[in-house]
């Protein structure tokens, strides 16, 4: 893990740990990793051996100066220590070691070491503890703190009344999600069951796990980096069928190849009707092909936990030719969600594309999915998009089409518009005839 990533993760864990313990009980958190040298103890002396890929989460506690004082501290905070070990095992598999120690002690430093314990993650939790953990995560990260507090208070009243007692995991997840939505009607916010492990837990993979991304119901990870089809249609119209917006770090060459394939067409149709979302960096990469330079401000994302706002601009360089000065049509449906909506909304706000189809699903909040137990996880929207043109986003309302038609008719409408553009241009006669023949085969669905 790079030093910058390590420091970011350290700050995040420090904030989360201090929230788990009473004020002053924890001074700070230090994150250590293998430094590339032969495996050895923590440089403070006497610590656990770190192998490549291992992380050590070191918690410096307050009010303890020697081993006896540290043992007294641990006795008073045993429940919090056990919970922290379980949460690290669930959420950060690379954190093989959790250590509690004191500040400014001479080697060998007093310490209590808790290795990764798979048994803690597999043990079932009572519904009350599951609900309490979910509410802690909601309060800590939900993008609207006031709503988070209101929703948490309402659920706590139900918890006190015993409404969640005795529920199985699936029923508890459904009911808790429903109750949270009464105050926070956010499609990204939900408690859900996690896939069952096929057998006993094996060795942990090296490196920290990446947070999962929330998806609408029925979404499945697509192949080919989300590119279902990329082709030239009759009449020299480009067509891209995108089922997801992949991160360009992995998908860059495939995206570039798709754009190369349609680069010589006279109009472009981008079909997002089955797009369940993806990476904001992927949205920027795709959109950058449709703008001439780095001067288009596409989106901002406000991060509630850090209070920072990150700007997203078109890229100064993309591999291959850009697609400029030609019309672009974006197809949408009620299934278009999250990153797919970001794609269409950004192009629409910039006047770069005409959106055709249905209003989209309405999910504008980037989300982090966090395991609560072996059986359940909660997806918490922790950020929100703010478009620099509209000053708002598509949350709850969805992306509203410029031409509203049923999703099943959207392709024919867009293709007809694209073909008419070719017929109105100075295209060579063979291409004009091809476009005229393709237009004649379309049903009369274009409201224009």
**Count, residues in the chain:** 448
What's phi and psi for 80, nearest 5 deg?
-65, -35
Specify the residue for token string 């920027």: 284
What's residue 48's pLDDT? 84
Gyration radius of the chain over CA positions: 26
Q: pLDDT in tens for each of the 448 residues of the chain? A: 788 888 889 998 998 899 889 999 999 999 999 875 544 445 445 678 888 889 999 999 988 778 899 999 999 999 999 999 999 999 999 999 999 999 876 677 899 999 998 888 888 899 999 999 999 999 999 999 999 999 999 999 999 999 999 999 999 999 999 999 999 999 999 999 987 654 444 333 333 333 333 444 444 446 899 999 999 999 999 999 999 999 999 999 999 999 999 999 999 999 999 999 999 999 999 999 999 999 999 999 999 988 999 999 999 999 999 999 999 999 999 999 999 999 999 999 999 999 999 999 999 999 999 999 999 999 999 999 999 999 999 999 999 999 999 999 999 999 999 999 999 999 999 999 999 999 999 997 555 5
Task: Tokens for 38, please give them.
Answer: 């032969």
The answer to whether the CB of 333 falls within 8 A of the CB of 313 is no
What's phi and psi for 185, nearest 5 deg?
-75, 70
What's residue 38's pLDDT? 47
What's residue 90's pLDDT? 92
How does pLDDT run across 136-159, given as a tens digit for each residue? 999 999 999 999 999 999 999 999
DSSP 314: -
Task: Tokens for 186, please give them.
Answer: 């956010």
Q: What pTM does this model have?
A: 0.81
186: three-class secondary structure by DSSP: coil
What's residue 263's pLDDT? 98
Q: By C-alpha distance, which of 214, 218, 217 is closest to 378?
A: 214
What's residue 206's pLDDT? 34
Q: By C-alpha distance, which of 142, 134, 187, 140 is closest to 158?
A: 134
């Amino acid at each position: 893990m790079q030093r910058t990533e390590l420091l970011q993760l350290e700050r995040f864990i420090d904030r989360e740990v201090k929230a788990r313990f009473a004020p002053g009980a924890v001074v700070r958190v230090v994150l250590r990793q293998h430094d590339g040298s032969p495996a050895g103890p923590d440089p403070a002396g006497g610590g656990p051996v770190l192998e490549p890929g291992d992380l050590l989460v070191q918690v410096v506690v307050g009010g303890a100066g020697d081993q006896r004082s540290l043992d007294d501290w641990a006795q008073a905070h045993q429940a919090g220590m056990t919970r922290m070990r379980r949460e690290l095992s669930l959420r950060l598999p690379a954190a093989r070691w959790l250590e509690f120690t004191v500040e400014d002690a001479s080697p060998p430093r007093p310490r209590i070491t808790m290795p990764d314990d798979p048994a803690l993650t597999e043990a079932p939790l009572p519904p009350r503890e599951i609900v309490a953990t979910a509410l802690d995560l909601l309060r800590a990260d939900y993008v609207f703190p006031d709503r988070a507090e209101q929703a948490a208070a309402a659920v706590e009243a139900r918890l006190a009344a015993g409404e969640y007692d005795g529920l199985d995991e699936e029923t508890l997840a459904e009911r808790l999600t429903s109750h949270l939505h009464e105050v926070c009607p956010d499609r990204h916010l939900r408690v859900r069951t996690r896939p069952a492990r096929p057998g006993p837990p094996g060795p942990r993979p090296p490196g920290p796990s990446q947070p999962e991304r929330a998806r609408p119901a029925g979404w499945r990870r697509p192949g080919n980096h989300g590119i279902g089809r990329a082709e030239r249609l009759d009449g020299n119209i480009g067509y891209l069928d995108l089922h997801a917006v992949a991160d360009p770090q992995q998908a860059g060459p495939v995206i570039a190849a798709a754009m190369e394939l349609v680069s010589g067409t006279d109009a472009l149709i981008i079909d997002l009707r089955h797009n369940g979302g993806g990476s904001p960096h992927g949205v920027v990469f795709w959109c950058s092909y449709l703008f001439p330079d780095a001067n288009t401000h596409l989106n901002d994302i406000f991060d509630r936990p850090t209070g920072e706002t990150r700007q997203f601009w078109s890229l100064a360089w993309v591999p291959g030719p850009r697609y400029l000065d030609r019309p672009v049509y974006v197809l949408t449906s009620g299934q278009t969600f999250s990153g797919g909506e970001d794609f269409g909304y950004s192009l629409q706000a910039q006047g770069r594309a005409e959106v055709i189809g249905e209003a989209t699903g309405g999910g504008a909040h980037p989300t982090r999915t966090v395991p609560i137990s072996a059986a359940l996880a909660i997806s918490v929207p922790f950020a929100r998009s703010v478009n620099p043109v509209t000053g708002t986003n598509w949350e709850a309302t969805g992306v509203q089409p410029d031409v509203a038609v049923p999703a099943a008719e959207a392709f024919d409408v867009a293709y007809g518009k694209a073909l008419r553009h070719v017929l109105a241009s100075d295209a060579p006669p063979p291409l004009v005839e091809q476009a005229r023949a393709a237009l004649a085969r379309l049903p009369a669905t274009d409201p224009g």
